[in-house]
Amino acid sequence: MYVKHVIKKGRCRKKTSQRSLCGGYIKKSAAVFCKKAVFVCLFLCSALLFAKETPVWAAENNIKLAAGSALAEMSIEDLMNIEVTLASKKPEKYLDTPAAIYVITNEDIKRSGVTSIAEALRLAPGVEVARIDSTRWAVSVRGLSDKVNKRMLVLIDGRSVYSPVLAGVYWEAQDYLLEDIERIEIIRGPGGSVWGANAVSGIVNIITKNAKDTQGGFVSLGGGTEEQGFAGVRYGDMIGKDFSYRLYAKGFNRDAMYHEDADNYDDWQMEQGGFSTFWDLKDGNTLRFQGDLYDANLGQRTAKNIDSTGGNILGRWQRSGDDSDMALQFYYDRTYRNEQNIQGTVDTFDLDFQYSAPLSPRQELVWGLGYRFNCINTEGTPGDIYFDPDHHNNNLFSAFVQDEIILVKDKLNLTIGSKFEHNDYSGYEVQPSARIMWKPTSDQTVWASASRAVRTPSPMDQDLVAWLIPSFLALNGDKGFETEELGAYELGYRVQPMKRLAIDMTAYYNVYDNLLSAEGFFFFGNKLSGDILGGEISIDYTPFDWWKLHASQSIMHIDMEKDADSTDPSTVDSMEHSSPERQTTVRSYIDLPHDLSFDCTFRSVSRLPVERDPIFWISGYNSMDVRFAWDINPDLEISLVGQNLLDDHHPEYNPTVLPLPGYYISTVEIQRGVYMEAQWKF
């Protein structure tokens, strides 16, 4: 055990830890990482050796993908050259992006057999997705997982779905017709210099297809053991030559998961519908409008289920010229949530302007201005849980600037920038970043970055009153709660050594300060800090045109501490074991003869031990999903999907630990499931 003193904002803090971050753990993790890397390399080398000869069945049946088939549409080379916008708010090639970015394509979503956006995020390295029950997921990037993650920003077509009340994302309210999702871009690491507050550990942007690319009709019907019934329908058409639109509707009924106490409360029903339009105004001008409405009923252990409804409308005008690009976006979002003892509405108005243009042949500037207004109304239960005050009007003013400088043409680029914000809770915030990218060859990219990002306070942090024992013991928000801070350092390498192989590696070191703590069961505070050290590797390999492989490995170590004057009893232990130290994923997509396909996804997740009480341990688990599909004709497909096939049921998330020792909620376990689906296009 070692002890050291750290001076933090004028107060002396004693740090005590039972292990050294730079000692035995790194050696142990490096050894495990090497073993996993060897396994992945052997797996891919075996595929490479196998690829030297064409299998007999493939030769006999003349297996060669048509231009329109799924695997032919997105080759490894195409993936490396796909344009992404999440890192810098402007299009750039995936290979040339100086950030830990990953793209989940529509093909990945379809062939993995997932039925929700949250489950689709499992396909990305460095993203932890733990299913809590039938209705909820804990999703995080690079650690500190929680059922409402406070440090990850989530967008749908640029519209933030981050709740300003609880400071997080309700994944059960984020849904869409999966067929109409073009791709999901994920940044592992901070993005505050472009996207602002709360883009701390990562950013997710779900990008839907343009209305002009979804012409005609689409119907999806299915059901099974857990996915008891689901249906989706969409129709798109043109009005004239320049205006396109689509309408969609979907709904589902999901069964409860496995409960050790047989209290199968968490069944789930949801309906959603919406529209999207695209208007080509000529001369580089386009106009897009879209909107959605949803209504959900989420089963709860309490006597009353959760009613969750909402809607949004978004408009975006964009002008693209030879030398400059300009965009103006507006959206309105309304959510309503009614739980057992508290309910509330949130109305959000957001306006965003962006402009980019070259300053010289070697320099390009991107800048933007934004304004957001949140109107929050809550109604709690005195003596149980409520917010004080119960009404908030919050204003957020923002501006950002980013300058990309070519130091050596086609070899060395430097990108510097910052976001400047003012909010009603913590005042002014500045989030700078610097990124450098070096291309030793045309198919290699080496990059490094240093960034600052913040999570700003919310009503949950400052205004919550939650009675743990009615009229006797309450947990209160802290009116002086400060901004949580992150200093992040990253190093990455991306290479395409051959046409059919791509490798992406990243190492990172995150330093957190002023994290949320629960002081003496009574008040929230900012008396936690810590470090997270980790790395990720992903490999994409296509041995044949009809076979695609993906493998990824993530390792991470969390080392938290509390201030010397903190009375927080358990948050350090909970945060250190909130996310698995190791995750491995292997995916295989195979196109078989006679218009058949067979796809498999394997995941291995390490255990989550909680030192405070072994009853909260989550054992490591292996999971496998399989999808078998038959394209009866170009417009009709039938598929059979098996999920979590390696065991009857397993837990993935630590039960909620209350501040009082001995109180806990029994674990919900994720069950094996099978469903069948038919998709028809017309």
Q: What is the pLDDT of residues 445-502, one digit of tens each?
A: 999 999 999 999 999 999 998 886 766 667 788 889 999 999 999 999 999 999 999 9
Residue 664 CA to residue 150 CA, distance in Å, equals 22
Residue 73: which H helix or E strand, with range?
A: helix 70-73
If you average pLDDT over residues 60-84, what whole number do you get?
59
Assess whether pLDDT exceeds 80 at residue 109. Answer: yes
Q: What is the pLDDT of residue 255?
A: 93
Q: Which H or E element spans position 32?
A: helix 24-50
Contact by Cβ (8 Å): 542, 75: yes
DSSP symbol at 664: B
Count CB atoms within 10 A of the CB of residue 410: 8
> Predicted confidence band at 677 (pLDDT cuts at 50, 70, 90)?
very high
Residue with more model confidence, 13 or 145: 145
pLDDT confidence band for 2 (50 / 70 / 90):
very low
Is it the case that residue 116 has pLDDT exceeding 80?
Answer: yes
Reported as a single tens digit per residue, the pLDDT across 519-575 is: 876 789 999 999 999 999 999 999 999 999 999 999 999 999 999 999 988 888 888
| Rg of the chain in Å (alpha carbons) | 25
Calpha distance 100→510 (Å, rounded): 14
Instruction: Tell me the range of 255-269, 317-331, 466-480 where mean pLDDT is highest.
Output: 317-331
Residue 608 corresponds to which tokens in the numbers above?
């989550």
Give the pLDDT of residue 218: 98
User: Residue 283 corresponds to which tokens in the numbers above?
Assistant: 């001369």
Its sign, for the CA torsion 76, 80, 83, 86, is positive
Q: How confident is the model at residue 625 (pLDDT cuts 50, 70, 90)?
A: very high
What is the rounded CA–CA span in Å between residue 533 and residue 175?
A: 32
pLDDT tens per residue across span 34-65: 444 444 444 444 444 344 444 443 434 333 33
Tell whether the model's pLDDT for residue 23 goes beyond 70. no
Name the phi and psi angles at 239, rounded to 5.
Answer: -120, 105
Phi/psi at 76 (5° precision): -60, -45
Of 166-175, 357-366, 567-576, 582-591, the one with minimum mean pLDDT is: 567-576
SS3 state at 78:
helix
Q: Show the 3-state SS of 91-153.
A: CEECCCCCCCEEEEEHHHHHHHCCCCHHHHHHHCCCEEEEECCCCCEEEEECCCCCCCCCCEE
**Start-to-end C-alpha separation, the chain:** 68
CA-to-CA separations, 469 to 379, 384, 474, 475, 524, in angstroms, rounded = 20, 8, 7, 10, 17
3-state secondary structure of 48: helix
The pLDDT, as a whole number, for residue 654 is 72
- Residue 417 pLDDT exceeds 60: yes
Query: What's the average model confidence in pLDDT over 16-45?
Result: 44
Please tell me what DSSP assigns to residue 25: H
Q: Is the pLDDT of residue 234 over 90?
A: yes
**pLDDT value at position 384?**
82
Distance of alpha carbon 562 from alpha carbon 518, whole angstroms: 11
* Side chain identity at residue 390, one-letter code: D
Of the ranges 28-32, 82-86, 281-285, which one carries the lowest mean pLDDT score? 28-32
d(C-alpha 538, C-alpha 550), whole Å: 7
Q: How confident is the model at residue 666 (pLDDT cuts 50, 70, 90)?
A: low
Average pLDDT score over residue span 317-327:
92
More confident: 49 or 380? 380
pLDDT for residue 660: 43
Q: Retrieve residue 40's tokens.
A: 């992945």
User: Taking residues 311-338, what's their average pLDDT?
Assistant: 95
- Pull the structure tokens for residue 115: 């039925």
Q: Could you tell me if 402 and 415 are in contact, meaning their C-beta atoms sit under 8 angstroms apart?
A: yes
Specify which of 487-501, 509-523, 600-614 reaches the highest per-range mean pLDDT. Answer: 487-501
* pLDDT > 60? residue 659: no
- pLDDT for res 196: 95
Q: pLDDT tier at 610 (50, 70, 90 boundaries)?
A: low
- Alpha carbon of residue 528 to chain centroid: 24
Of the ranges 69-78, 298-307, 328-337, which is most confident?
328-337
* Range of lowest pLDDT (120-134, 304-318, 468-482): 468-482
Tokens for 473? 């013991």
Angle at 266 between CA 464 and CA 259, to 5 degrees: 110
pLDDT, tens digit, for every residue of 423-445? Answer: 999 999 999 999 999 999 999 99
- Burial state string for 444-471 with b = 16 or more CB within 10 A and e = fewer than 16: ebbbebebbbbbbbbbbbbbbbbbeeee
- Length of the chain in terms of residues written: 682
How far apart, in whole angstroms, are the C-alpha atoms of residue 292 and residue 285? 24
317 touches 328 (CB < 8 A): yes
Angle at 636 between CA 634 and CA 637, to 5 degrees: 105
Q: Which one-letter DSSP state was computed for residue 284?
A: T
Q: How many helices and strands, by DSSP H and E, does the chain display?
A: 9, 39
Q: How many CB atoms lie within 10 A of CB 166?
A: 19
Q: Quick count: other Cβ atoms within 10 Å of Cβ 537?
A: 21
21 SS3 class? coil
- Find out whether the peptide bond into 569 is cis, omega within 30 degrees of 0: no
Burial of 63 (0-12, 13-18, 19+ CB in 10 A): middle
Tell me: pLDDT of 361 over 60.
yes
Q: What is the reported pLDDT for 30? A: 46
Residues facing 534 on adjacent strands: 508, 556
Provide the mean pLDDT of the chain. 86
Output the CA angle 259-585-672, nearest 5 degrees: 25
Confidence grade of residue 339 (pLDDT, cut at 50, 70, 90): confident
Residue 118 clears pLDDT 50, i.e. is over it: yes
Other CB atoms within a 10 A radius of the CB of residue 678 amount to 13
CB-based contacts of 287: which residues, under 8 Å, 6+ apart? 278, 279, 281, 315, 316, 317, 318
Preceding omega of 389 cis (within 30 degrees of 0): yes
- What's residue 614's pLDDT? 58
Residue type, 601: T
Question: Who's near 210: CB < 8 A, 6+ residues apart?
Answer: 182, 244, 276, 278, 288
| pLDDT score for 299 | 86
**Integer Cα distance of 2 and 311 in angstroms:** 53
Dist CA 249 CA 233 (whole Å):
5
Q: Which residue has the higher pLDDT, 24 or 568?
A: 568
pLDDT(211) > 70: yes
